Amino acid sequence: MLQQSAAALATACHAARRGQRVLLASTGPSHLIGALLGQNLSPRPLELEPNLAAVELGPLDEIGERWEQLRPTFRSGLASRLRDIASDELPSFPGIDAVSMLLVAERARQTGRFDVMVIDGPSPDNLVRALALSDAMRWLLRLVFGLDRGPGRSRTSQESALIPTALIPVSTSSPLQDLRAEFEEYRARLDSSTGARVRLVTSPGELHLPPLRNDLISLGLHGIAVDEVLVQAEPVEVNLETRHIFAPEGGSVRPTLRVGPLPTAPADRDTWALRGAAFYRDGDIGTPAPPAHSAERELRLAIPFLDAKTLDIAVANEEVVIRLGQLRRHVLLPGLSEGGRLRARVEGETLRLWVE
């Protein structure tokens, strides 16, 4: 975690000195950014210099604030029971730090004050759990109430629902649909098509271990692009064989390795900016332009180290279920509910799904 926080801080300070307007956010739970800067941070963004502001997120507070905004919308029916749940009763569920991060990111985007948001954390596991929340909620609403994505209701969903949709008042279903749609909207902002990128911080020894590759596969399955793996080490500590494994070639979508020493001792912003400049070889932090959006009835997933032999694809309840070993993701592709036929193809390390 110390290396991760150091990489985020150096990245943010370097980007700010190169003219980008940066918001640096610490999702915790340790909140090392303030300690590394020698600066007290809080949930309110603090302007450290003209192009750099920093914030320390409290996940429970962020989720609680949004919940208090939603409670008045649960007016009648089954949903009215949710109004009795106060914000201080909400649990600290897995992925809560990533969800709170998305709430803050949206507020930052709306202000128009920032070009880049650099986030210290969450861990890959918590990030994937947060991404899966929208899929789980959509699955639950379809299974229980027969509610599809958006305002429509397909015949298949209604016939298989545990509670007939005709018995559900709009006052009950609408708030739940709105909450599900909001989850999906936040989750979509981390998709690779938006330009969002994840960078993993690791050590030379971890490059050879399964967890790193599993993280890359899991993030790719959920549509998240990992453009770089930051290895905090001397270049000689990463051999040519390892560099070759990560070198993109022949349809590979593997991230590039950025290898270099990055001190983690607390220091002032000038020192952190110099550390970032050295680590990035005095270049830009590299935020590539978003790729062109796929067609509505098509989905492309860039999955590093994808092994087609471990891939299983099925259709259940009008959703595409993608399974890679112990990893699973549910995807809703427009056209399946209309009787379209699912097609799939592995192109190098990219999984392409489309509906004919």
Of 252, 279, 306, which marks where a domain is finished?
Answer: 279
- pLDDT tens readout for residues 211-223: 999 999 999 999 8
What stretches of 57-191 show up as alpha helix (H) in DSSP? 59-70, 96-111, 124-145, 155-160, 170-188
Are residues 92 and 195 both part of a single domain? yes
Are residues 346 and 310 both part of a single domain? yes
Are residues 241 and 316 both part of a single domain? no
| Minimum mean pLDDT range among 158-167, 249-258, 293-302, 312-321 | 158-167
Is 75 within a domain? yes
- Name the packing angle between helices 96-111 and 59-70 (round to 10°): 70
pLDDT average, residue stretch 121-126:
84
Are residues 136 and 179 both part of a single domain? yes
Q: In terms of C-beta density within 10 A (0-12 exposed, 13-18 middle, 19 or more buried), how is residue 92 classed?
A: exposed
CATH number for the domain spanning 214: value is 3.40.50.300
Of 279, 313, 334, which marks where a domain is finished?
Answer: 279
Is 293 within a domain? no
Is 52 within a domain? yes
pLDDT band at 297 (very low <50, low <70, confident <90, very high): confident
Q: 263 versus 85: which is more confidently predicted?
A: 263
> At residue 169, does pLDDT exceed 50?
yes
Entry pTM = 0.84
Is 317 within a domain? yes
Are residues 311 and 274 both part of a single domain? no
Q: What is the pLDDT of residue 288?
A: 57
Is 18 within a domain? yes
Are residues 56 and 110 both part of a single domain? yes
Task: For the chain, give the number of residues.
Answer: 356
Are residues 177 and 302 both part of a single domain? no
Q: What is the pLDDT of residue 151?
A: 40
**DSSP-derived pairing of the beta strands 52-56 and 116-120:** unpaired
pLDDT band at 152 (very low <50, low <70, confident <90, very high): very low
CATH number for the domain spanning 323: value is 2.60.40.790
Q: What is the mean pLDDT of the chain?
A: 83
- pLDDT tens readout for residues 55-71: 998 888 888 888 888 78
Are residues 99 and 21 both part of a single domain? yes
Is 288 within a domain? no
Cα(first)–Cα(last) distance of the chain, in Å?
A: 46
- pLDDT tens readout for residues 5-14: 999 999 999 9
Is 201 within a domain? yes
CA nearest neighbour of 135 among 174, 101, 183, 179: 183
Are residues 82 and 187 both part of a single domain? yes
- pLDDT tens readout for residues 13-41: 999 999 999 999 998 667 899 999 988 98
The total of structural domains in the chain comes to 2
Are residues 216 and 104 both part of a single domain? yes
Cα→Cα distances 243→42, 255, 293, Å? 40, 11, 31
Are residues 174 and 312 both part of a single domain? no
Enter the tokens of residue 200: 């993993």
Give me the domain span that covers residue 89. 2-279
Most trustworthy range by pLDDT among 71-85, 280-294, 325-339: 325-339
Are residues 98 and 246 both part of a single domain? yes
